Amino acid sequence: MNTRKQQLDAFNRLLDIMDDLREKCPWDKKQTLESLRHLTIEETYELADAILENDLPEVKKELGDLLLHIVFYAKIGSEKKAFDIADVANSISDKLIHRHPHIYGDVKVENEEDVKRNWEQLKLKEGKKSVLEGVPKSLPALVKASRIQEKVAGVGFDWEEPHQVWEKVQEELNELNEEIKKGDKENTEKEFGDVLFSMINYARFIDVNPENALEKTNKKFINRFQYLEEAAKKSGKELSGMSLVEMDIFWEESKKYFK
């Protein structure tokens, strides 16, 4: 691994390159905070994909792309005389020190849960009116539900045992089933949302990240279905002309390769 000096030299090199690009490259000169936003979101998802694939070389590459964006935003901020990269680094450093009094102060903690509770209490003391203020409105619904539940649990609004949450899941499933029987579309949607919300909550109690779990299932399904498509093609058939029974043979085969 690189020494701290080598790390700082590498970061300084990136800052110099950013200065050059902003001055000389037509595309880079044209970018704004707003124009970069959607690209940053895309890069974040690419990093998330690499992490789920456990592809460390790709993780390194995608981290570099995200770091470029951070440096880019800071460069634009300096041009606006609003902030620069030192302000960004000092701001997060100050926040980390303030929110870790068990490291940089005299607060005692017993475990990870104590740290989370302290974190939320400190944010309220900083002027936030609600523990949910830190949940971005634009987060995907599944991720947002998970973050909401983590936030409120941090101040003690939580179930005590996993079986209580599972009972809630079953209760919500029964309520969903009742609305489906009634044919009430609006209430069915509401109850379906309640089922998802309670399942996401249960995932937290059994130490499963619901976003990662669902994405892994998505990838598994894609791999199995593409195997089915390829197998059908090799046998000279089109999926549209095959029966479900015929497709199921290839589907079962795919499970040997994608678990």
The span from the CA of 218 to the CA of 203, in Å, is 17
What confidence score (pLDDT) does residue 155 get?
82
pLDDT at 198 over 90: yes
Which residue in 145, 152, 113 sits closest to 131, CA to CA?
Answer: 152
Comparing 75-89, 102-116, 138-152, the range with the smallest average pLDDT is: 102-116
> Which of the two residues, 237 and 85, has the higher pLDDT score?
85
What confidence score (pLDDT) does residue 9 get?
97
Hey, what amino acid is at 228?
A: L
Give the pLDDT band (50/70/90) at residue 156: confident
What confidence score (pLDDT) does residue 201 get?
97
Of all residues in the chain, the percent with pLDDT exceeding 90 is 80
Q: Tokens 């409120």 sit at which residue?
A: 152
pLDDT at 146 over 90: yes
The span from the CA of 38 to the CA of 143, in Å, is 18
Contact 170, 162 (CB under 8 A): no
pTM: 0.71
Comparing 11-15, 36-40, 127-131, 250-254, the range with the smallest average pLDDT is: 127-131
Report the sign of the C-alpha dihedral through residues 214, 220, 221, 226, in that order: positive
pLDDT at 185 over 80: yes
The span from the CA of 222 to the CA of 244, in Å, is 17
Report the sign of the C-alpha dihedral through residues 116, 122, 126, 131, in that order: positive
Comparing 42-46, 63-67, 137-141, the range with the smallest average pLDDT is: 137-141
Give the pLDDT band (50/70/90) at residue 130: confident
The span from the CA of 188 to the CA of 192, in Å, is 6
